[in-house]
Amino acid sequence: MMTRNGLILLAAAGSLAMLLGAFAFQYIGGLLPCVLCLWQRWPHAAAVLLGALGISLGGRIWPLLGALAALTTAAIALFHVGVEQTWWEGLASCTVNALEGVSATDLLNTDVSVGGPVRCDAIAWQMLGISMAGWNGIVSVGLAVVWLAAARKA
């Protein structure tokens, strides 16, 4: 049996691992995130902070908020998977204007990379037929269960 603090540490470390993985895909793998990908990162960052607060301050509220953060990113991930699978429309912000803020001089300069649009409905990477958004949702639900187990021990 794990202690309350051990469970909080496990859940917060899981969110940190998800963030580090996302940054690795972006900065090492070159896969630029879409708007929904970015939104999915914020609850993980909050969960890491909540883990630190939960371990240092004690109480049931921090693990409950950690579970809420994990379920929030899981909900965003589910929405993102639906957009990827064309089950429903994405947000207007899911279409990126890659040329916004780029001057005509930049377009003619071969030393400047203007990038390309990153659409929310395009699956950039998948494993076992599940996209990154799908894996985020699956892992995040698991992390929410760990957070709730920690809350029960408070």
DSSP the chain: ---HHHHHHHHHHHHHHHHHHHHHHHHTS-----HHHHHHHHHHHHHHHHHHHHHHH-SSHHHHHHHHHHHHHHHHHHHHHHHHTTSS---GGGS--TTTT--HHHHH-TT--------TTS---EETTEEHHHHHHHHHHHHHHHHHHHHHT-
**pLDDT at position 75, please?**
97
Q: How large is the average pLDDT for residues 31-38?
A: 86
Could you tell me the pLDDT band of residue 74, with boundaries at 50, 70 and 90? Answer: very high
Most confident of 9-23, 87-101, 117-131: 9-23
pLDDT of residue 11 exceeding 80: yes
Percentage of the chain surpassing pLDDT 70? 84
pLDDT of residue 100 exceeding 90: no
pTM of the model: 0.81
pLDDT of residue 104 exceeding 70: no
**pLDDT at position 97, please?**
53
> Is 1.20.1550 the CATH classification of the domain at 4-88+118-152?
yes
Q: How large is the average pLDDT for residues 50-79?
A: 95
Greater confidence (39 vs 91) lies with: 39
80-90 pLDDT, tens digit each: 998 888 888 77
pLDDT of residue 126 exceeding 60: yes
